[in-house]
Homo-oligomer: A and B are copies of this chain.
Amino acid sequence: MNPAHHADRLIRKLETLAALSDEEKEALGSLPMSVKVFGADQDIVREGDCPVECCLVLEGMVFRYLMLDDGRRQIMGFYIPGDIPDLQSLHIKIMDHSVGTLVTTIVGLIPHQSLNNLNARYPRIANALWRDTIVDAAMFRLWMVGLGRKSAHERIAHLFCELLMRFKAVGIAKDALTCEFPMTQTELGDALGLSTVHVNRVVQDLRADGLINLRGSSLHINDWERLQQRAKFNPTYLHLEGRGAAE
């Protein structure tokens, strides 16, 4: 990937959150960024760390998670190119959870200081980033609704819907109904509060009903309407405001 394109990922993402002037885009483009490649299943930051830079996902996919003492794991969100999963570290020194990779992932590390300078100079960018943390929180809340009150079928279908829409919003879905899905059923289970075995059975149900096609690390949705109904999916919470929304 061409270095000039690194910031494009970020600009594209922030444009789903707020309008940006040319000057602001230029400022984003000149952010210092050191590019780093992580293999699959590696931690980018760990619980207890006190990072001095934020990590922008350029290629690949990462997730935030927390381990309990006895080995139980809860995955709290998946992040795709354009996302900054540890943006919060700008304001909270100590990490209360870890960020790990699903697959080989390229990230751009941006010093906190550079981001703080940018925020001081361009309040609208600061607001867009604040907005990002708010949309992030909205995703957590919806995820909570799934974990607390939805069936396994609804939860899994919902995650499929959410990820496709987010890929489309930043323009990196394979097509209108297809996107990357590079995670194992164990990871799916840890994200949705289910056992691997049960995830397997439910995914088979969804396949048998002709709703999805999940082969390797690619997700294709055969019947968006019915999948959305099955998931009780309502995309309001993504706050995309028409930019990149499906349908």
Measuring CB to CB, which residues of chain A are less than 8 angstroms from any residue of chain B? 64, 66, 68-69, 72-74, 76-77, 88, 91-92, 94, 96-97, 120, 123, 126-127, 130-131, 133-138, 140-145, 147-150, 190-193, 232, 236-237, 239
Contacts and interface: CB of A to CB of B under 8 A. Distances in A.
Given A123-B120, A236-B94, A237-B96, A145 B68 contact: yes
Contact of A74 (B64, B91, B149): B149
Contacts of A97: 141
A92 B138 contact: yes
A193 B155 CA distance: 14
Copies in the complex: 2
Contact of A96 (B88, B133, B138, B147): B138
Contact of A69 (B96, B126, B232): B232
A20 to B, nearest CB: 15
A236 B91 CA distance: 15
Nearest to A91: B131
What are the nearest 3 A-B pairs in CB distance? A148-B193, A147-B147, A140-B140
Chain A residues touching B, majority SS: helix
Contacts of A191: 148
Contacts of A138: 88, 92, 96
Contact of A141 (B134, B140, B193): B140
Contact of A88 (B76, B134, B147): B134
Contacts of A150: 68, 72
Contacts of A149: 68, 72-74, 190, 193
Contact of A193 (B131, B134, B147, B190): B147
Contacts of A76: 141, 144-145
Nearest to A143: B144
A85 B236 CA distance: 19
B91 A127 contact: yes
